[in-house]
Amino acid sequence: MRPDPDISALVAEYTALRRQLHQHPEIGLETVQTVSFVKSKLDEYGIQYEDIGVNSLLASISNGKGDITVAFRVDMDGLEISEKNDFAHKSQVEGRMHACGHDGHCTSLLAFAALLSRNKEFNGTVLLLFQSGEEGHEGALRVIEDGLFEKYKVDYLFGYHAMPGVETGKIVVHKGACMASEDRFEILVTGKSGHASMPHVCNEPFAAVADIIKGLQTIIVRKVPSHERGVVSITQVHGGSLRNGIPDSVLVQGNVRTNNESTQNLIEKNVKQIADGVATMYGVEAELDYVRKHPVLVNTVPGMAISAAKRAVGNENVITDMESSMAAEDFAFFMQHTKGCYVWIGNGTDSAPLHNSRFDYNDEILPVVLRFFAEVVREIL
């Protein structure tokens, strides 16, 4: 299929709709109003859809007899941040805003639905997935559990994120890892409480906690090969309630990012080894709870995305050598079931960062998204 010659009319309409959506952010899996807005537009275009997951929506458009299915996924949820922008379309809900651009992701896929409904030059099926709960609420897992891959043969899946710091008009495609894994851990260090004046009759946990934290800081520099990337951050330490008392236990929490599974395995092994080793040294208990939240997002068909992107924005505007991000993205769960690619579309070099109280989706990138999606369909169907 080719991009609609009248793309500019869609851009005007969807810029207004995007700004409307920006004013009414919903959080997590509670994207009720956003989903009904999406349904009303799909009804207008006569596109079939069904509810899937928790407040997520799956639309489908078929043409011809082709049996290949290409899916596009966007997210819809906002964040619990108070918006500091003062433009007319600022969030009307105090303490909530679309600080990650999911308002723009959502409306751009709807605009693409409009394009598909009037321009059916493809042979096969296009699925459009509007997903809730991307911001740490496991929205993708709910969609998978609800049978996305049992109900549909999804041959390819594509998604994107508007990316601050990347020029408007440019598309970034990673030839492997694109977004990081995320693991979270807690270590509960338990000794024996007592009076601060008599540590010899207690078994105080703080010295062990200090050594565990110091030990964890050495994993990246001493254990992970220097050509690999990873992050180990301590995020919380809780313990004690008295000025003159030694507590029973102290809780340490941390967050781990990597761009490949072997580094992820290596870090998990070392966190355990350090916690156990230090606990033995001090004669305290160290109970580790290590949870893998997100897998690494690895693009498996970057070649398809690169050629579609080149046709959409020209060879000179496709970047293929940018470092992957250490942020996680739940699109990675879908990629455990099918082939696909997740790209970044430049939100501008003067854009506020993601999750910043002054962030706003750059409406100028909508034509870039539409051309890219249209070229993906042309490439595959």
Q: Which residues bind Zn ion (CB under 5 A)?
A: 100
Q: Closest separation between CB of residue 233 and Zn ion, Å?
A: 17
Q: Closest separation between CB of residue 114 and Zn ion, Å?
A: 23
Q: Which is nearer to Zn ion, 28 or 205 (CB)?
A: 28
298/143 Cα distance (integer angstroms): 20
Q: Looking at residue 353, what DSSP letter applies?
A: P
163/25 Cα distance (integer angstroms): 19
Cα distance from N-terminal residue to C-terminal residue, the chain:
8
Q: Closest separation between CB of residue 28 and Zn ion, Å?
A: 12
Q: Which is nearer to Zn ion, 343 or 381 (CB)?
A: 343
171/366 Cα distance (integer angstroms): 12
Q: Closest separation between CB of residue 75 and Zn ion, Å?
A: 6
Q: Which is nearer to Zn ion, 106 or 219 (CB)?
A: 106
Helix, strand, coil shares, percent, the chain, to 5:
35, 30, 35
Q: Which is nearer to Zn ion, 122 or 158 (CB)?
A: 158
Per-position DSSP letters for 309-344, written without gaps between them? HHHHH-GGGEE--PPPPSS--THHHHTTTSEEEEEE
333-336-339 Cα angle (round to 5): 115
Whose CB is nearest to Zn ion? 100
Q: Which is nearer to Zn ion, 99 or 189 (CB)?
A: 99
Strand partners, 159: 73, 342
Closest CA to 348 of 133, 193, 164: 164
Q: Closest separation between CB of residue 207 and Zn ion, Å?
A: 38
Q: Closest separation between CB of residue 162 and Zn ion, Å?
A: 8
Q: Which is nearer to Zn ion, 100 or 111 (CB)?
A: 100
Q: Closest separation between CB of residue 10 and Zn ion, Å?
A: 23
Q: Which is nearer to Zn ion, 100 or 332 (CB)?
A: 100
- Which pairing describes strands 156-164 and 69-75: parallel, antiparallel, or unpaired? parallel
Q: Closest separation between CB of residue 134 and Zn ion, Å?
A: 6
Q: Is the Cβ–Cβ distance between 181 and 264 less than 8 Å?
A: yes
Q: Which is nearer to Zn ion, 93 or 207 (CB)?
A: 93
Q: Closest separation between CB of residue 223 and Zn ion, Å?
A: 29
240/251 Cα distance (integer angstroms): 10
Q: Closest separation between CB of residue 181 and Zn ion, Å?
A: 16
Q: Which is nearer to Zn ion, 282 or 372 (CB)?
A: 372
Q: Which two tokens stand for residue 138?
A: 């496991």
Residue 184 CA: distances (Å) to CA of 138, 249, 290: 14, 20, 6
Give the CA-trace dihedral at 341, 344, 345, 350, to 10 degrees: 180
Q: Which two tokens stand for residue 248?
A: 């029973």
Q: Which is nearer to Zn ion, 100 or 374 (CB)?
A: 100
Closest CA to 229 of 191, 256, 199, 193: 256
